[in-house]
Amino acid sequence: MDLDPWSLLKASLEGDDSGTSILSIDKITKKFEFILKNQLFESLESGFDLDGFLTNKIDNTNFSRELIYKKDGIILESSFGKFNLPGQNENKEYTKFSIKDITTKQRQEEEIAWRLRFELGVASSIQILIQQPSIRDGLPHALYQLLYFTEMDSIFFLKYEPVENIDKFHVWVNERKTTKYPPLPKELHNADWYDLGLGRWVHKLKKEKSIYLARDKALTREKWFFDQTKAETLLLIPVRFEKRFLGVMGFLKYKQNSPIHPENLMIYQSVSRWMGLFVQRDMDITELNRYKSTLESLVLERTLDLTKTKEELERAYKVKTEFLAHMSHELRTPLNSIIGFSKLIDLPATDETGKEYLNYIYTGGTRLLNMINEILNLMKIESGQIKIQITTFKPEDICRQTLELIQPQANAKGMDIRFRPPIQSKPLTSDSGKIQQILLNLLSNAIKYANQPYIEVDCEWIHDLLTISVRDFGPGISEEDQNRIFHTFTRLNDDGKIEGTGLGLSISQGLAIRLGGSLELVSQVGQGSNFKLKLPEIIK
């Protein structure tokens, strides 16, 4: 007996590994209705506004793939596919609408990215401390860099300074991702923790045990700490050097019901090892400076200890250098291969799942490669290893070439770029590649953060200085944020929807200075931002 097309279609849906349905859409009214659903679709469709999601898609004729985040934490990937049926109504069209649970895969990708970011944060922090003569000068910046790469909201270091057998701590560093989080309670500073009700914490820390504590698990005498800091989760890690207890590295997390994975706890604990080395170095240097003017014998004695510390620091610097070289080879080389092969692999047209996974591999690999390249570029600039290649060229030609490269990104957002070349055309002697890199960063930021119909790019000569301005008409930047916009890993209005590492402007400013020029910002809230690149002639 022959089956009608609808029966065959319904049977095929039940064999699909995605939650799949068939929609009938009225071409005139844009109204839709479900014709068929398989059982998996019915189990996944609750927990989010399905009707609103589909109405928005159909009204805007936007049938691209999109992620759906359900209230219960499940992540779905949606897809559409139009098809025709024999004898169908000419006023209606039929669409296959599928939703697939990708929660596990998404979490795995996030975990891999987090671990890589954490390792980069550790390398960056160590480099900062190595370059500083005193840990007290570099520790705030170093720990803030590390904090940026973690899931935590606050990081602090408490130096252990007992007085007459009384356990006291001195707050050396207390960095937060945002000032909306309160600082550490003042009671912690130079107070006996047993008097504060925190004796249990001191006892465990001195026994080389870490403390991972949630608000609801704290003892009654300890809850005041969580009340004052507004934190939901506390992580304290003892910092030691050669069995000597030096202090405590701490992390706070403010999000509720957000535990730390046991494997990640071990990664956090590994940080305390290099912290102990740098704290001990600082103590040695401080002690040496205190006595070197009067106690020559002490200087000779401590020289051996300082030599040992110096060797440890040199090993740490060598580890950092080897890490960067290893990361460049072991990460960038295979990532380039993965990205290239993901484009070369030719799967059958019927293998939609395989093509989806190839796209995940390509986009994820590209994102990680860009992040690694930006970190390495920043390292080269900070260490003075960036090389300048001098040529003579017309700056308006570089501007036009850059606009051609960035145009697809502007087109995707429906934005126009208006370019005004200099009235007087004359050549510039400088590094055209570095200038183009700066302009790409400025234009990319303008496109990502502005929602206006166009951007203005001006190229002009002012008093023998080439000035290239990139102006957007977006939300603008407050005076407070302008003071930190060029800092590394700084991203304004970071709600997680815009990709990036927060390194673009820092790298651009470093390149501008290396070319003998400057990168300036003029901005006002509500009236957009204007970044001005000013460059002189470089004499060969």
pLDDT at 291: 67
Burial of 293 (0-12, 13-18, 19+ CB in 10 A): exposed
The answer to whether 146 and 156 have CB atoms below 8 angstroms apart is no
Q: How confident is the model at residue 225 (pLDDT cuts 50, 70, 90)?
A: very high
What is the spatial distance between Cα 64 and Cα 356, in angstroms, rounded to a whole number? 13
Is residue 255 scored above 60 in pLDDT? yes
305, pLDDT greater than 80 = no
Residue 87 CB neighbour total at 10 angstroms: 6
Q: List pLDDT tens digits, range 498-513.
A: 555 567 787 888 888 8
pLDDT single digits (tens) 5-26: 666 666 667 667 788 888 888 8
Q: How far apart are alpha carbons 395 and 460 in whole angstroms?
A: 9
pLDDT for position 115: 72
Q: End-to-end CA distance of the chain: give it in Å, rounded.
A: 87
Residue 144 CA to its chain's centroid (Å): 13
Segment among 156-160, 223-227, 297-301, 466-470 with least mean pLDDT: 297-301
Quote the pLDDT of residue 279.
Answer: 77
Q: What pLDDT is recorded for position 450?
A: 76
**Top-confidence residue, 58 or 352:** 58
Percentage of the chain exceeding pLDDT 70: 77
Task: Name the nearest CA neighbour of 436 among 324, 312, 300, 533.
Answer: 533
Between 352 and 517, name the one with better pLDDT: 517
Q: Which of 63-72, 225-234, 357-366 has the lowest mean pLDDT?
A: 357-366
pLDDT of residue 344: 65
Q: What is the pLDDT of residue 294?
A: 62
What are 63-93's pLDDT values in tens digits?
888 888 888 878 888 999 887 776 667 788 8
Does residue 167 have a pLDDT over 80?
Answer: yes
- The Cα–Cα gap between 457 and 439 comes to 10
pLDDT score for 266: 76
* pLDDT averaged over every residue in the chain: 80
The residues, any chain, with a CB within 8 Å of residue 375's CB and separated by 6 or more, are 120, 124, 501, 503
Tokens of 208: 């080389």
Tokens read off for 197: 């009700």
pLDDT of residue 217: 92
Percentage, residues of the chain above pLDDT 90: 17
- Band (pLDDT 50/70/90 cuts) for residue 232 is very high
CATH classification (class only), 391-535 = alpha beta
pLDDT category at 360 given cuts 50, 70, 90 is: low
- Pick the more confident residue, 380 or 74: 74
Average pLDDT over every residue of 308-332: 62
User: pLDDT band at 421, cuts 50/70/90?
Assistant: very high
Predicted local confidence at residue 224, as pLDDT: 94
| pLDDT for residue 340 | 66
- Looking at 3.30.450.20, 3.30.200.20, 3.40.50.1820, 3.50.50.60, the CATH number of the domain 5-101 comes to 3.30.450.20
Buried b (16+ CB within 10 A) or exposed e, 343-359: eeeeeeeeeeeeeeebe
134-271 with 391-535: one CATH topology? no
Mean pLDDT, to the nearest integer, of 480-497? Answer: 65
Question: Which of the following CATH numbers is that of domain 134-271: 3.40.640.10, 3.30.450.40, 3.50.50.60, 3.40.50.2000?
Answer: 3.30.450.40
One DSSP character per residue, 191-216 reads: S-TTTTT-HHHHHHHHTT--EEEEGG
What is the residue extent of each domain of the chain?
5-101, 134-271, 391-535
Please compute the mean of the pLDDT values over residues 451-472 and round it to a whole number.
89
What pLDDT was estimated at residue 333?
A: 60
Query: What was the pLDDT predicted at 1?
Result: 41
How far is the C-alpha of 512 from the C-alpha of 518, rounded, in Å?
Answer: 5
Residue burial 443-477, b: 16+ Cβ < 10 Å; e: rest: bbbbbbbbeeeebbbbbbeeeeebbbbbbbbbbbb
Please give the backbone phi and psi of residue 189, each rounded to the nearest 5 degrees, phi first: -80, 115
The pTM for the full model equals 0.42
Residue of 489 and 518 predicted with greater confidence: 518
